[in-house]
Structure 1
């Protein structure tokens, strides 16, 4: 067992793209930042990748904000606890508690201040440094008062000296960051519902306020209206306005506070039966974007209030909307659907459309190359995710009930899924269709699935009357056999990697080994002490591990039919305490078992997960716990705390479980149209807290990563570091002269990286050819991955069949693939053109060498033939001379001995 096997780190979170809070664009407009539970995901729309930052908040995130230079991210949870993060490195800099729920937080445009709501007040803090950790990083600049109810939004002016706020008290207010002599905060009143947002126009001469009831008020300078009245005092007023404009041109910062703000226009969206939930404004193009409670969004051009575009993107309310700096892309988040959309409104096309499972994710499986992950959920959908990019690229929704198991065929692009609707379906990943549906004569709810290594046989077991295992042919779709013998539901099935045996686990406290291809139909039962929940085959097919209800993992040697090792995992799997638990987590007997186990690729370790926040990694030979992974620290989930806080206990029960819907201010949120009953499905429970649990764990066939289907989504842990530090990203003076100096000092790695940074082909070639062949292997090992990719692209251009350095290129190629082959393979789609160029170069090399060898062989054959001819002619001449010499002597010819 290698020490690196337990060095897995959190790499990504898939399967969940948006939960609640606000979505926002990065300053360059290429990425969308979305809160996902208590984490933050970043979707790169240009490179088609997504990554989830490694830090966690204490609870679900309510608001996020990014600094204008994209260096600092602040994320605030539902309780007002904030985490300040170095955005590029995903490193937590500071923790801070605002001590009240925060409804909005914004960085000032110059990045020096952070404004956050605090009930009916607004607090402005100085932004801490993102380069160094300070003892007291947050310094309060000032607390602003004046509103009578909760503040809902904050909007800064472009010069960072003023900001607008809106509140539930149906007003907006204009504040100054620094005191202005004689200025009192302006109040914008007149709305009949809570004001959702307010915005400055591009020239800061107009202010727009948007209320929940669908009204947009336009505010401007009263003096402009007075100037339009033609009376005797008009010349005097014009002179006064000219003087004011002259003074404002000399001191532009005082234009906003010196303006006599008045209501100039009222507009209404006229969307009956709906409320405005979210909005944003693009000042450069004067576009107002509004999201409504019925899933409709619209674009209006201000101040004329011309409707540009209206579209329905979902049936649920749009909880967040954002627009990128160029004004082309709109991002929408719908919290109830867990949906994230990026819409290009001019071409009316989707840039991104992602949605996780509506309910819990139940199961997952890796493809044979580890590039794809398929998941199944309680919503009856089968989703396929790209493991490298983190995006879902196909969703199959043919099932009508929960998905209980999914499997990839070992060969070919085929997915099999078993469901509680009584069907097993096969999906084609080439044509994206359901091409086979396997059914049984009597209705059965399937909860286990196994596919033969050849992909020809599919088996499924479940909870039918006879607890049988059904076998179908993939080619014909017909039922070919029914295996009977279990006396309880079949909880797990697995084919041997060799394909000769089928092992089934059941709640009847046995596992059975079936010889499905033999004539004898022999069945060998192994007795257990408790119900079997999950099983896994070792990759060599000689051993099987079984998880039981009493928290044990038992290892069976199939050849000798003996139990080899036993792991007592009850204490390892025990998680946190639930809110309604009367006993501590250590004394609670429920959920202390593993419902999913998986071997590592080399069979040396076993991964196990269950109804707990922990995933355990064991040494398969000695049964030793190597590491416990904590899938979530989110206190919004049930079962994450080791100890409960007695302050949250009331006479009516735990505070987290109390129904506070009647205390909400919005009428729609107070309505309860559901019936009391189940917790899942139609969400009929009055208040439901998801529980931290792991439904399924699987190892990648490459051995470099593993995934867990959990309450948080699809968690991926990897050995590969996703963030590569490049010291040359810093501002350095890189010139051809400095590169030549570095090369003269024999600092080959530094010189090569500097030449790639300068990106001049002759210079790169000079440094490349100057590196000694003995230093290549060590240099490539230390080379960052992104430069290894540049080096591969450079080699693809060099290997054009005309280069004389054939062996030199091949040594470089071998060293690159030996050091970075695994990482490059996972990104094979990104480097397809480079790999094709390398393959063409190698084929050209091979053809040239073959041609040269053939030419040399022909030349050598020709020379040997010529020499043979010369020798034969010399032999004939000698024989002729001997014959003539003998005739001259008049006797028998005698052979001369030389």
Structure 2
């Protein structure tokens, strides 16, 4: 089995904190998710996650005007400059202090950052416009100028349209106008008049007016106007020219303004409040266009695309992300994260869907190819503890602490059966037999296993024998046995379909946490609280081997820990284990930042995957930083340095009365501890998924085509210029150009050569193509079927490749597994699109054929008229003597 799994995508979380940014074409949205950036393509309904990650949560990000450079900054002020189109990080930089605002100039030559009370302007790497390749001419950051004058932190920065001036908004209740370079006759100007901190400030499209909004819901319009003296003649030159308030408006909301955005070209202003309400206004008339509510939680970020048609809104408290089109009043994108920690996951049998359940009681269905969640089940009223698919994939079973086990129809997305026990129990685990006729569940409250019939919903039996809470259940793939594990340090193997229903107990040395059955039903693996994994022969009930994973799973220390990461208690066990599809590997994870992959034959650790390097989470640090410990012995990170608790409602003590010792039940911390609550291999074995504190992490063997620039077998003649010169020849050698493009391994160049191959030359090019490039050609075809517009052209390539090289590909199918899966995904996507289109056309044709002919007055429909009648009517209609008539449209 191949083990070169690489991070592929991040699902389960759509927005964390920070600002939202649209790409210049307006088709994609960049959303910060923890220490990573997710990109949502709004036109193709797909999403992906950029491969690089910060050491802290991302607080600010911005794109250049051409969309090529992306700058992301984390909470500590460390920045990563990346080429967005290639998804490559090219430079790391530290501002040495937290960044409070960030904005690229419209020209893309400079960007400004707010560093506390001061502002810095930096030069960005230059991009030569004459180069057809768009190659970067990179240079390190160069500080252009530094500006000071505010008396409190800068909260927002915005540029003028000509990139000569910019505005800053601060918590000192003022806004200021700055010039990028010294301008003759211009001095930095202070705009004061608000009674609370200024949230945003923008220039109008003509740059003759400035709009500022404050936290108390006040909108001021400023213009550069002179002040006339009362005793001064109108013909005399005016004196005291400066920016003055010419219009005051108030939103009149009983809530604080959290964020706002302004589109100068259309004059649309969007304001968002902490009660979840957002409103659209047209300025300067201040007419309200829309007022809608996203949720009851505050809206953290808002952004608008270049044309002003789409609005993106994000809420960090609930994890909602919404893209709204105000013209049609419709949702372009509506995604939401789980409100609490994810507890369980399940792959669908065809590996296209992932089911997640969480402590918030929600069940979400995620599409693996697009990265979007497509449905949410809300019937459970408490935390979801386990989920599993039926073998056919049409039924999903879930258990919850609300005392119910539910069966879901995955074709109609509805709950069609609910199973409950005679007494109120909180079910913690479940299992179904391969035929999906029997469902079993167990609880920590009772030591019995409950069995129900899926067909009737009746309780069939209660299996007694354990002397402690049952922690895990699993049916063997052949359906013969039910395996249950308990905290009483035993594993019991039940023959539930025999009349005797006997069970055999396997004794362990510690409390059992999880059990996994090998796909051939010959072996079971058991993870215990002491960090060991034991392997048992299911036929002989004898322990075959075991391994100690305490050292492998240990890692990461909490803020309050006084021990090293290796000796920290509570993290030395695996809470979730699973076999690979061929049974050769075992995947194990627990309350640590590591996922371990073991070989079952040699019991050796093959690979360790790091879930997160995000220091904003608890349990990711390996060493104690003594400089972060204060004199009282508490870590400095536990102190809230945001300084936002200035309002009365944020200063109210809501702790329980009488709490003098122990932990207050109402206490809440913002730092989550990194841990993995579930891992599972995909049925195809090409990927695995882990639900963690960061989200739903997917690791895959398949090459998604998003890899870094990786040329091979190069010589001095393999250059983009030579490849383009070959294509411009009178009789171009397309095979040579395609081979050179594959050797250079530039995606844009490969696509250009591929599209330049004539329709009739495809069989010849495919026949003469060296076999070493077959994998790259298949991956290219898979990408073109998913993203390219040339359907027939791509299908002809696929047909020729399979007909000419099909026998060789079949012999080496293990080497082409990822490429063939990419082609299969493309073919399935095309088939699904064509099928939906044909069904829609069939319904429309059937509807039109069933419509009765309509008449207007004395005229008959066109279906009942002859050609002479129609010609006579058209002649009368031209003379204006008769009215129009209605026919079948």
- Normalised by the length of structure 2, the TM-score is 0.85
Tell me the equivalent position of 2:386: 405
Comparing 456-465 and 562-571, the one that deviates more: 456-465
Aligned pair partner of 1:175 in 175, 178, 187: 178
Instruction: After TM superposition, give the deviation of residue 658 of structure 1 in Å.
Output: 3.5
Tell me the equivalent position of 1:891: none
Deviations 1:302-328 (A, max 9, x none): 111111111111111111100011111
Tell me the equivalent position of 2:130: none
Tell me the equivalent position of 2:205: 202
Tell me the equivalent position of 2:523: 543
Aligned pair partner of 1:374 in 342, 352, 355: 355
Do 1:724 and 1:785's aligned partners in 2 also have CA atoms closer than 8 Å? no
Give the Cα separation in 1 of the matches to 2:137 and 2:434: 54
**Cα 1:799–1:423, aligned 2, differ >3 Å: closer, same or farther?**
closer
Instruction: After TM superposition, give the deviation of residue 766 of structure 1 in Å.
Output: 2.4
Whether 1:810 aligns to 2:811 is no
Whether 1:475 aligns to 2:470 is no
Q: Which has the higher helix share?
A: 1
Tell me the equivalent position of 2:638: 657
Whether 1:139 aligns to 2:158 is no
Instruction: After TM superposition, give the deviation of residue 464 of structure 1 in Å.
Output: 2.8
Give the Cα separation in 1 of the matches to 2:161 and 2:359: 47
Where do residues 344-743 of structure 1 align in structure 2 (5 Å cutoff)?
Answer: 344-465=325-446, 467-650=447-630, 651=632, 653-658=634-639, 664-673=645-654, 675=656, 684-724=666-706, 733=724, 737-738=728-729, 740-743=731-734
Q: Partner of 1:740: helix, strand, or coil?
A: coil
Deviations 1:47-93 (A, max 9, x none): 11111112111111111111222222222122222222222333222
Tell me the equivalent position of 2:5: 8
Instruction: After TM superposition, give the deviation of residue 794 of structure 1 in Å.
Output: 11
Give the Cα separation in 2 of the matches to 1:420 and 1:765: 61
Instruction: After TM superposition, give the deviation of residue 674 of structure 1 in Å.
Output: 5.4
Whether 1:106 aligns to 2:103 is yes
Deviations 1:785-814 (A, max 9, x none): 2334548999984899xx9x9998733677
Whether 1:153 aligns to 2:148 is no
Instruction: After TM superposition, give the deviation of residue 600 of structure 1 in Å.
Output: 1.1
Whether 1:786 aligns to 2:804 is no
Deviations 1:181-220 (A, max 9, x none): 2321011111111010101111111110111111111111
Q: Partner of 2:732: helix, strand, or coil?
A: helix
Give the Cα separation in 2 of the matches to 1:343 and 1:753: 32
Tell me the equivalent position of 1:854: none
Q: Partner of 1:571: helix, strand, or coil?
A: helix
Instruction: After TM superposition, give the deviation of residue 422 of structure 1 in Å.
Output: 1.0
Give the Cα separation in 2 of the matches to 1:382 and 1:188: 50
Aligned pair partner of 2:762 in 760, 768, 772: 768
Compare CA radii of gyration and give the structure with the larger one.
1
Give the Cα separation in 2 of the matches to 1:517 and 1:774: 60
Q: Partner of 1:625: helix, strand, or coil?
A: strand
Whether 1:48 aligns to 2:61 is no
Q: Partner of 2:103: helix, strand, or coil?
A: strand
Give the Cα separation in 2 of the matches to 1:831 and 1:665: 56
Tell me the equivalent position of 2:23: 26
Tell me the equivalent position of 2:255: 274
Give the Cα separation in 1 of the matches to 2:584 and 2:55: 35
Whether 1:323 aligns to 2:304 is yes
Question: Gaps (5+ residues) in structure 2?
Answer: 128-134, 712-717, 839-889
Tell me the equivalent position of 1:757: 752
**Cα 1:343–1:734, aligned 2, differ >3 Å: closer, same or farther?**
farther
**Cα 1:533–1:309, aligned 2, differ >3 Å: closer, same or farther?**
same
Instruction: After TM superposition, give the deviation of residue 353 of structure 1 in Å.
Output: 1.0
Question: Gaps (5+ residues) in structure 1?
Answer: 242-257, 840-898
Do 1:565 and 1:622's aligned partners in 2 also have CA atoms closer than 8 Å? no
Do 2:738 and 2:753's aligned partners in 1 also have CA atoms closer than 8 Å? no
**Cα 1:570–1:746, aligned 2, differ >3 Å: closer, same or farther?**
closer
**Cα 1:667–1:72, aligned 2, differ >3 Å: closer, same or farther?**
farther
- Normalised by the length of structure 1, the TM-score is 0.84
**Cα 1:321–1:703, aligned 2, differ >3 Å: closer, same or farther?**
same
**Cα 1:742–1:709, aligned 2, differ >3 Å: closer, same or farther?**
same
**Cα 1:213–1:834, aligned 2, differ >3 Å: closer, same or farther?**
closer
Q: How many residues are aligned here?
A: 805
Aligned pair partner of 1:221 in 224, 229, 250: 224
Deviations 1:588-612 (A, max 9, x none): 2322100000111111111000000
Give the Cα separation in 1 of the matches to 2:769 and 2:371: 37
Aligned pair partner of 2:118 in 118, 121, 138: 121
Whether 1:825 aligns to 2:824 is yes
Whether 1:57 aligns to 2:70 is no
**Cα 1:132–1:575, aligned 2, differ >3 Å: closer, same or farther?**
farther
Q: Partner of 2:733: helix, strand, or coil?
A: helix
**Cα 1:564–1:419, aligned 2, differ >3 Å: closer, same or farther?**
same
Comparing 347-356 and 665-674, the one that deviates more: 665-674
Do 1:222 and 1:261's aligned partners in 2 also have CA atoms closer than 8 Å? yes
Give the Cα separation in 2 of the matches to 1:690 and 1:156: 37
Comparing 142-151 and 580-589, the one that deviates more: 580-589
Give the Cα separation in 1 of the matches to 2:648 and 2:58: 24
Give the Cα separation in 2 of the matches to 1:15 and 1:301: 36
Give the Cα separation in 1 of the matches to 2:759 and 2:436: 49
Tell me the equivalent position of 2:881: none
